[in-house]
């Protein structure tokens, strides 16, 4: 689908990748329903997009929703259907980094709920509407870590492996109809999604990172190409393919990553003092 024909429901719209994606989509001619948790931020973004694209504010609406609340999800789906959304970009997400022993049970539940279950439920709620259209698309924004598990990202990878499996199975389930399902997998991106521990890990392991504008450009390309999936960056593209074919070949490659993890007790203390409440759009590193 050409961006100019797209009416995009974009979750996590005010995060690093979300904001960049909104700008790129707006410049390409798409109309957007922006979803976030802060009325001030999401409404300001709608006005910014109208001004920067030199288009009417009518092309940019917004909705405040807690994606982990069933009633809010239902209301959002109704609003998106009434607005005529023909593209859904599941972009909101939560991070999780550290040795498994450093991640609390409630934090695990919140990450899995936000990154996996919320997109599944929102897709399910919107599916009757999307199937009634001549053409529609569902884009699941995942991560290279949805196909390549790294030390320190067991919980985050679980959520993104699950999202990739959901997208793949649903793509095949809906193949004979008007709905195309896509999986988009950035690598590490330079945004506020990653904390100081992740930045230190990236430096120690030589992890490459992309600017959010690069990621947003690739997202628009995927939308317009209608390809099944896209993984960004090298050597990440090669690594995910090898991992899919012979995962045990890579098992010995991650000593540096294991050694670069923060001590479990320190990481747990940091996370207990800073509970996960931020819905964003940026991906953790590969």
Please give the pLDDT value at position 243: 65
Is 13 in contact with 236 (CB distance < 8 Å)? no
Burial classification of residue 264, based on how many CB atoms lie within 10 Å of its CB (0-12 exposed, 13-18 middle, 19 or more buried): middle
N-terminal to C-terminal alpha carbon distance within the chain: 29
- List beta partners, residue 7: 31
Q: CA geometry: angle at 168 spanning 162 and 171, to 5°?
A: 135
Higher per-residue pLDDT: 283 or 104: 104
Q: How confident is the model at residue 274 (pLDDT cuts 50, 70, 90)?
A: very low
Res. 93: pLDDT tops 70: yes
Is 85 in contact with 126 (CB distance < 8 Å)? yes
Q: What is the pLDDT of residues 217-236, one digit of tens each?
A: 999 999 999 999 999 877 77
Phi, psi of 272 (to 5 degrees): -70, -30
Q: How confident is the model at residue 10 (pLDDT cuts 50, 70, 90)?
A: very high
Structural domains in the chain, sorted by start: 3-95+113-197+210-239 (3.40.50.720)
Torsional sign, CA 153, 156, 160, 163 = positive
Quick one: average pLDDT of 254-261? 77
What token pair was written down for 177? 């109809």
Q: How confident is the model at residue 265 (pLDDT cuts 50, 70, 90)?
A: low
Catalytic residues, by residue number, are: 156
Q: How far apart are CA 278 and CA 94, in angstroms?
A: 7
Q: How far apart are CA 239 and CA 236, in angstroms?
A: 5
Q: How far apart are CA 108 and CA 104, in angstroms?
A: 6
Quick one: average pLDDT of 35-61? 95
- List beta partners, residue 61: 33
Q: How far apart are CA 156 and CA 264, in angstroms?
A: 16
User: CB neighbours (10 Å) of residue 62?
Assistant: 22
pTM summary value: 0.87
For the chain, the C-alpha Rg in angstroms (whole number) is 18
């Amino acid at each position: 689908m050409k961006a100019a024909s797209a009416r995009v429901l974009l979750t996590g719209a005010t995060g690093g990748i979300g904001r960049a994606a909104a700008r790129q989509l707006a410049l390409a001619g798409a109309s957007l329903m922006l979803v976030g948790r802060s009325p001030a931020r999401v409404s300001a973004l709608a006005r910014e997009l109208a001004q920067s694209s030199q288009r009417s504010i009518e092309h940019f609406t917004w909705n405040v929703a807690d994606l982990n609340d069933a009633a809010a999800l239902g209301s959002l789906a109704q609003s998106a259907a009434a607005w005529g959304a023909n593209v859904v970009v599941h972009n909101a997400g939560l991070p999780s980094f550290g040795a498994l022993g450093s991640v609390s049970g409630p934090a695990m539940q919140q990450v899995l709920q936000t990154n996996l279950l919320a997109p599944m439920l929102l897709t399910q709620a919107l599916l009757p509407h999307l199937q009634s259209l001549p053409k529609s698309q569902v884009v699941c924004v995942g991560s290279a870590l949805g196909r390549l598990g790294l030390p320190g990202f067991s919980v985050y990878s679980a959520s993104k492996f699950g999202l990739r499996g959901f997208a793949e199975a649903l793509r095949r389930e809906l193949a004979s109809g008007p709905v195309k399902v896509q999986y988009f997998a950035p690598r590490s991106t330079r945004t506020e999604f990653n904390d100081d521990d992740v930045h230190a890990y990236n430096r120690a392991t030589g992890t490459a990172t992309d600017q959010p504008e690069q990621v947003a450009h690739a997202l628009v390309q995927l939308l317009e190409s209608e390809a099944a999936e896209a993984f960004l960056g090298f050597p990440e593209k090669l690594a995910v393919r090898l991992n899919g074919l012979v995962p045990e070949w890579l098992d010995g490659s991650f000593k540096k990553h294991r050694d670069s993890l923060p001590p479990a007790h320190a990481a747990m203390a940091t996370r207990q003092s800073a509970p996960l409440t931020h819905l964003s759009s940026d991906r953790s590193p590969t």
